Amino acid sequence: MASLIATLARSLFGPPPEVLCEQVTWTAGVAELRRRTHGRRESGAFLLGGKDRRRRIEEFVFYDDIDPHALDTGIVEIDGRRLGALWTHCRNTGREVVADVHVHPAGFGQSPSDKANPIMAEIGHIAIILPHFAGRATMPGGIGVYEYLGARRWRDRSRESPSPLHVGWWPWR
């Protein structure tokens, strides 16, 4: 109830979220990311959905489903030659990549490699980082939320309140 009231108050008076995800989609996706880490390696996913006024996450497409070796070294590394499968899936579903998420063993700060190699080098793209193998904090406020500014520069929006990422019910598109 408290969160419903907070959402309503935000929808009326606060800055609208830039990226939305239904709670059930988020919870299931995060649980699957956690499972795929086996508690010892990073995992990650492209977050697909529709873009109208806001980006709406509707589906997690896991990196190791696109590139079976993406998690082999312990940090996420996707072979660009495998991305055709992702683009085909996007075409078939009418969805596009609206954000990405990956899991870190400890904190949610961006590594030098995260900064240098954006998954989508598109200005305004949002990259999310879940700390502690997605076993503790998994909601905005306790996770990393970074906006790509271009030229390998990022804006750390992790501690913004309200967060640009809203997980849960939202009254309108």
The minimum distance between CB 148 and Zn ion, in angstroms, equals: 14
The correct pick among 3, 73, 88, 111 for binding Zn ion (CB under 5 A) is 111
Among 118, 168, 116, residue whose Cα is nearest residue 138: 168
CA distances from 38 to 94, 110, 143 (A): 32, 21, 20
* Nearer CB in complex with Zn ion: 67/114: 114
Per-residue contact string for residues 52-91; x = within reach of Zn ion by CB under 5 A: ----------------------------------------
State the number of binding residues for Zn ion (CB under 5 A).
2
Among 6, 44, 11, 37, residue whose Cα is nearest residue 120: 44
Stretch that binds Zn ion, among 43-51, 54-62, 88-96, 103-111 (CB under 5 A): 103-111
DSSP β-bridge partners for residue 10 = none
The minimum distance between CB 106 and Zn ion, in angstroms, equals: 11
- 114 touches Zn ion (CB under 5 A): yes
Stretch that binds Zn ion, among 30-38, 57-65, 113-121, 134-142 (CB under 5 A): 113-121
- 100 touches Zn ion (CB under 5 A): no
Q: Which residue has the tokens 């954000």?
A: 99
Stretch that binds Zn ion, among 8-16, 61-69, 77-85, 109-117 (CB under 5 A): 109-117
Residues 6 or more apart in contact with residue 129 via CB below 8 angstroms: 101, 102, 103, 104, 108, 109, 110, 114, 143, 144, 146
What does the alpha-carbon distance between residue 36 and residue 40 come to, in Å, rounded to a whole number?
A: 9
Which residues are near Zn ion by CB under 5 A? 111, 114
